[in-house]
Amino acid sequence: MNKIIRFIFFGNYFVGLLAVALTIEATQQLRLPYNSLNYFLLLFLAPTIYYTYAYNRVSTSASVNNPRNQWYFKHKKFINWSQAILFTLCVVLALSLLYQNFDNFLQLPLNYWIAIIIIVVAGALYYGLLPKSFLKFNLRNTGWLKAFVIGFVWACCANVLPLIMLKIETGIGYHDSVLWAWLFIKNWMFCTVNAIIFDIKDYPTDSNKQLRTFVVRYGLRRTIFNILIPLLVVGLVSLAVFGYFKGFGLPQVLFNVLPFMLTMYLAYSMHKRKNILYYLMVIDGLILFKAICGIIGMQFVQ
């Protein structure tokens, strides 16, 4: 069981599941048709490959005392093979989507193309995946900005990419900009808070590298009480206000409040040091819990 858990979480398959779950939640909340199965398979595989490649690069020069680095070193051959196979599947799926929807792809409006470029560039810059000879800037090394970039990319994954693909596959656009903007900002802030909590794990390493994350800059206690909890309270207040004007029922509000309350509790408990699997299973699991609660909440909408 321990080997299976490490395989799922160290291998970043759980990250792929999070991307799918957030997309299903956003699709239901926006009351849109679902994207094709090909897109959901691509959505699962792409983050898995991306995070595995990025972490594998980081682990080569990182401390060997880190259990995740040890796992990557021990299974290096398997990782190389799996990355090659999964990447090949991604290419096949992407080409299939392109072939089936080539005309719609070419006819995408300019604002859709701008969104695609922003997402790709942000994702590439975050782990410094572009060649250094081309561009040395790495968003991961910008300290406090890092968490907001992570949250932004995940919000785009949940609230922007599905709309782009829906336009490509069906020609359907989305026009309730107020609801979309609120859901996008809610996902952005929730995933940003999640990333700040995750930075607590890297506090000693980031401090030694003089990477000015929130935890390094303000300390653990001030980060929890002056940044994390206030951000979550603002999220709860905005949810209450938006829910009131949109006429959300009590069950829908309750299920959307639960992830914020659980995150607040876990943020408060972070003064005790946790192991790497705790962050990967519990802290990242908050995103899955949020998606499940959002999906259940939509079942009470008339």
pLDDT tens column, 64-109: 567 888 888 888 899 999 999 999 999 999 999 999 998 888 888 8
Question: Taking the chain, what is the end-to-end CA distance rounded to the nearest angstrom?
Answer: 42
CA distances from 36 to 30, 115, 224 (A): 17, 20, 40
pLDDT tens for 196-254 read: 888 777 655 555 455 566 676 777 778 888 888 888 888 888 888 787 777 778 888 88
Q: What is the pLDDT of residue 17?
A: 96
* Pairwise CA distance, residues 288 & 5, whole Å: 16
pLDDT tens for 123-168 read: 777 665 555 555 555 555 555 677 888 888 899 999 999 999 999 9
Please state the rounded mean pLDDT for residues 3-30.
Answer: 92
| C-alpha atoms less than 13 angstroms from C-alpha of 160 in its C-beta half-sphere | 21
Domain ranges in the chain are: 2-298
Q: Which of 54, 198, 191 is nearest to 128 (CA)?
A: 54
C-beta separation of 279 from 198 below 8 A? yes
Q: What is the pLDDT of residue 289?
A: 96
Fold of 2-298: Farnesyl Diphosphate Synthase (1.10.600)
* Pairwise CA distance, residues 188 & 186, whole Å: 5
Q: What is the pLDDT of residue 208?
A: 46
Residue 34 falls in which region: left (phi positive, over 0), alpha (psi -120 to 50) or beta? beta
pLDDT band for position 9 (cuts 50, 70, 90)? very high
* Pairwise CA distance, residues 224 & 269, whole Å: 9
* Pairwise CA distance, residues 246 & 258, whole Å: 19
Q: Per-residue pLDDT for 301 more than 60?
A: yes
pLDDT tens for 160-197 read: 999 999 999 888 877 777 888 888 888 998 998 888 88
Q: What share of the chain is helix, strand, coil (3-state, %, to 5)?
A: 80, 0, 20
Amino acid (1-letter code) at residue 208: N
C-beta separation of 111 from 179 below 8 A? no
Mean pLDDT of the chain: 83
